[in-house]
Amino acid sequence: MAWSRLPILVRFMILHGALGFILSALFVGAFLWADPAGIGSLMLRGPDAPWVVLLLWFFTGLTFGGVQIGNAVMLLAEEDPPGGRGRLRRAREWLNLGGMAAPVRAGRITRAR
């Protein structure tokens, strides 16, 4: 079946799942290169080294792929209408911690004893 004939949502999920497996390959490569606490060299020296690396890549790929699909679905949210005060705009305002005002009482500063 041709890629263009697949439904758009199926293509969306396949694309983002594949991106998760690509990120998993980068993660496993970086893990083996960094060799934290000698685990990478232990994995590569064992008699079943290819299977261990393949399983690590596959299961981290499932995890990263699921997270990537979830993030992509969450980012599909529509923008608020112009001038509207929707949930997305309120969330953006709430997350902008630098612009939040903190209530302060005016008065003398006293030193604790």
Measured between alpha carbons, how far is 95 from 8 in angstroms, rounded to an integer? 32
Nearest Cα neighbor of 27 from 77, 72, 61 is 61
Q: Could you tell me the CA-to-CA distances from 60 to 11, 27, 73, 97 in Å, in that order?
A: 21, 8, 20, 34
- Say yes or no to pLDDT of 45 above 70: yes
pLDDT band for position 66 (50/70/90)?
Answer: very high
Tell me the angle at which helices 8-34 and 49-74 cross, rounded to the nearest 10 degrees: 130
Using DSSP, state whether 82 is helix, strand or coil.
coil
pLDDT at 65 over 70: yes
The amino acid at residue 91 is: A
Q: Where are the domains of the chain?
A: 3-96
